[in-house]
Amino acid sequence: MNYQKALEDAIIYIENHLEEDIRVEEVAHSVGYSYFHFNRQFQALIGESVGNYIKKRRLANAAHQLLYTHHKIIDIAIKNNFESAESFSRAFKLIYKVSPQKYRENRIQTLTSNKENLNSDLLEHLVHHVTVHPQIVILPEIKVVGIRRQTQLRTKEIKKLWEEFYSLEEKAPYSYQEHRKFGIYESSLSDVHFIVGEETIFNEVVGIEVDSFENMVSYFIKKVIPGGRYVVFTHHGCFKTLPQTINYIWGTWLLSTKEEIDSRETFEVLDERFLGYDHPDSELDLYIPLR
């Protein structure tokens, strides 16, 4: 059966009725499946239930309207199928960790609020280019040497940073060719995942794993990644689609999981599976800290 085509049709149905009181049974019926079978396939391929998707899309629409319209909060709540401003505020704060009013005052469209409509391109990405059911691991402490620069969550900016690092690595008197490489997103904010947007400027460390910091090249800095629990997502494909994977993690998985995110830093790992920025078979792992 072509489940991906059925999901595409279901998403179109949801988007066309998003401001109505639609039920999951109605969505399933629209594509010719039973409630249980459709919801199971949706969960398996997308990583969340149909009901959860509908709720988060409504909240994402509301978040966008809070920033880009002057409509009253009660009007935004009713328009997005919430019974009252109070029920909307409770649901919004549970997901985005701030009230609708505070979110409007901050004037930042965060990654968690950027839950896009699952069009055919995004659906293709979820099915083939990211693990929607990630693995939880326990890591030991990891030592990294590299460079620290200010950047943004844009593919071109991150790529430039890695290219700078590689140019410096070539000048080192010793080689780390077989070692894993790390991109570490630094922040002093415990709730960074809920307030960061693509335009936010932050520090990133890119570098290589080492056994010790002895004989370190002078133009490199040292960084220690704390051990502990992490959830691991694998990104498949070229580097330019990495933002879609990041948006899935913050805009879907983070808002659906029962796990609690820790204040340790998020990082990505490039090993022998990383074949180049533009290689369609490249893979890299993204690690999110858990309590």
- In sign, the C-alpha dihedral spanning 181, 185, 191, 196 is negative
Can you say how many angstroms the Cα of residue 145 is from the centroid of all Cα atoms in its chain? 26
Q: Which two tokens stand for residue 82?
A: 């919430």
Rounded to whole angstroms, what are the CA distances from 51 to 1, 40, 162?
23, 12, 40
DSSP symbol at 187 = -
Nearest CA among 5, 6, 3, 30 for reference residue 16: 30
Buried b (16+ CB within 10 A) or exposed e, 162-183: beebeeebeeeeeeeeeeebbb
For 186-232, write each residue's pLDDT tens digit: 864 444 444 455 556 678 899 889 888 887 778 888 999 999 999 99
Confidence of residue 162 (pLDDT cuts 50, 70, 90): confident
* Strand, helix or coil for residue 283: strand
DSSP symbol at 130 = B
Cβ 276 vs Cβ 283: under 8 Å:
no
Q: Radius of gyration of the chain from Cα atoms?
A: 21
Using the structure block, give the residue that is written with the tokens 């630094």. 186
Mean pLDDT in residue range 16-43: 83
Centre a 10 Å sphere on the Cβ of residue 32 and count the other Cβ atoms it contains: 9
Q: What are phi and psi of 228, to 5 degrees?
A: 140, -165
Order across the sheet with 202-210: list the strands: 135-139, 228-236, 283-290, 266-270, 181-186, 202-210, 142-151, 221-225
* Strand, helix or coil for residue 181: strand
Whether residue 141 has pLDDT greater than 90: yes
DSSP symbol at 106 = H
For 91-122, write each residue's pLDDT tens digit: 888 877 788 898 888 776 665 555 555 556 66
Q: What is the pLDDT of residue 194?
A: 47
- Exposed, middle or buried by CB within 10 Å (0-12, 13-18, 19+), for 3? middle
Strand pairing report for 142-151 and 283-290:
unpaired
- Give the chain's domains with CATH numbers: 3-107 (1.10.10.60), 135-290 (3.20.80.10)
Whether residue 60 has pLDDT greater than 50: yes
- Read off the pTM: 0.69
Q: What is the pLDDT of residue 287?
A: 95
Nearest CA among 254, 251, 249 for reference residue 286: 249
